[in-house]
Every structure is written in structure tokens, then in C-alpha cells.
Homo-oligomer: A and B are copies of this chain.
Amino acid sequence: MKKRPLILVTNDDGIAAPGIRALIEVMKEIGDVIVVAPDNRQSGKGHAVTIDATLFYNRINIDDQVTEEYSCSGTPVDCIKLAVNEILKKKPDICVSGINHGSNSSVNVIYSGTMSAAVEAGIEGIPAIGFSLCDYSWDADFETIKEHVKTITVNTLKNGLPEGVVLNVNFPKLKKEEIKGIKICRQANARWVEEFDKRTNPQGREYFWLTGKFINSDKGEDTDEWALANGYISIVPVQFDLTAHHAIQTLNTWELND
């Protein structure tokens, strides 16, 4: 690369989260960094956009870094839209999202604000990567994975991404020397079985907290879940053409126009 790339950084845990601070540090070694991230926790917001409310953003300064940073009142997807259309003066060379505190493997890609931000950047024609560490703790150790984050980002800048594709990268919670390498994977066919925690409020009304158990019934050794369980970093290429092309022929046999 002749000149330093412009890198847009976001996340869904909020702009002050340790995960995004670690990501910013790595990105500053690669290029010029602009951060546009939610001002509070936006986990599980999926691809939500704010259309029934107003949006604000503020220039802020965290960690006394010289990096240009903006906190935004909206969802991760709002952050990308505001960044690209209002804040940035030119299109970034890449967008990185995360590092998420917790897994975004398999079906979690659909609920994840971190990955939805990357997908939105992809829709805008920007190469994009979502990074997640399989450790939900606020004190998760991001040091061990920084080198890999750099390698994957540099490779993406060098090679580009196929059109309509962004990367979903998940790191196992392991010591540096325990990580066996990187595997390109497919999304495991897994899902959450909800277990609502039912409680009663002081007024006697029932309310619920969403909780659940993650069930992976996919035995394939080419899945992200297999890779993570076996000591590998998983990379799943993710697309936003949701068409089930293989189903079109079947549906064309239905008697819909009789």
C-alpha cells in the first residue's frame, strides 16, 4: 500500500469498551483511524436503524489519544450511516467492528450489532470485518489476539474482499500459545433455546428477562463452532444477499398462478 489506509472503527459494546480500545490500538499501527461508535451498550441490536427518533453525535476524546473519535446516540448501523454520510470526508478503505466482548459465531451473526455494523459497511461498498472474542467479561484479555487482528486486517486490505462479502472473525478464549491457527469456515447450524427468567415487579406485574441456552447440533468439522472448540480462530465470509437461490426452483413448482 502506497499511502496509509483510512480505517473506520466501530462496535456494539459502546465507545468506551476495552474491546474497541484494543482494536483502535491495532488499527493505528496500520493506518489513519476514525472512530464512530455507540455512546452506550448496543448488544443484540442486530441490523436496527433509528427511524422513529433523532440521532446525535459528539466529538470526544478517550485515553488522551490523538485519534478522531465520535460517540453516537444510535445503533451500530446508525453509526456506519452517520460516519459515511455525515462525518467522514472520504470513503474509508476498510471498516472494522469490535472487538466484541463475546462470541458472534454461527447464528449469533444475525443478532449481533457488531456484525450488523460490518454488514452495513459492506452494503455501502466498504471492505469490512467484525471481530469477536469468545469471552463476555469486560476484563477479557485482548492482548493475546492483537497480532491476529492485525494479520487479518492487513490481508483484507491487500487482497480485497469478494463483492457482497464481509468477514465474521471469532477468537477462542485461549492463551496465545494455545491458538492453533486460522480456519475459513461456514456458519454452524446452531440456535438459541430461550429460557425466559420470569419475575414479578413491585406492583405485582409479571415481567421477563431474555436468557437462553446455545444449542449446536451441527457436527460438521468445517463450521465456526468446530474451529473455535478445537483451538482455531474462525473466519466466516458473510453475505447480505439473503436469497436462498437453491429454493427458487422448488418454489416455481408451486401452483400460485392458477
Q: Interface on chain A toward B: helix, strand, loop, or mixed SS?
A: mixed
Q: Which of A60-96 contact B (CB under 8 A)?
A: 75, 77-78, 81-82, 84-86
Give Cα distance in the complex from A48 to B248, angstroms.
28
Chain B residues whose CB sits within 8 angstroms of the CB of A250 once the complex forms: 162
Whether, in the assembled complex, A31 has its beta carbon less than 8 Å from a beta carbon of chain B, the answer is no
Whether, in the assembled complex, A206 has its beta carbon less than 8 Å from a beta carbon of chain B, the answer is yes
Q: Closest B residue to A49 by CB, please name it.
A: B44
A162 is contacted by which of B77, B155, B244 (Cβ under 8 Å)? B244
Whether, in the assembled complex, A47 has its beta carbon less than 8 Å from a beta carbon of chain B, the answer is yes
Chain B residues whose CB sits within 8 angstroms of the CB of A191 once the complex forms: 123-124
Give Cα distance in the complex from A46 to B112, angstroms.
11
Whether, in the assembled complex, A214 has its beta carbon less than 8 Å from a beta carbon of chain B, the answer is no
Known A48-B46, A54-B208, A107-B240; contact A254-B159, beta-carbon cutoff 8 A: yes
Instruction: Kindly provide the distance from the CB of A184 to the nearest chain B CB, expressed in whole angstroms.
Output: 4
Known A55-B208, A110-B240, A242-B238; contact A162-B49, beta-carbon cutoff 8 A: no
Residue count of chain A within 8 Å CB distance of chain B: 80
A46 near B43 (CB under 8 angstroms)? no
B187 near A255 (CB under 8 angstroms)? no
B237 near A247 (CB under 8 angstroms)? yes
Give Cα distance in the complex from A111 to B252, angstroms.
27
Q: Mark A229-258, 1 if CB is under 8 A from B, else 0.
A: 000000111111111111110111011110
Chain B residues whose CB sits within 8 angstroms of the CB of A43 once the complex forms: 51-52
16 residue pairs from A and B, CB less than 8 Å apart: A44-B52, A46-B47, A48-B111, A49-B111, A55-B207, A81-B196, A107-B240, A110-B119, A110-B123, A155-B254, A159-B254, A162-B246, A164-B189, A181-B256, A237-B247, A239-B244
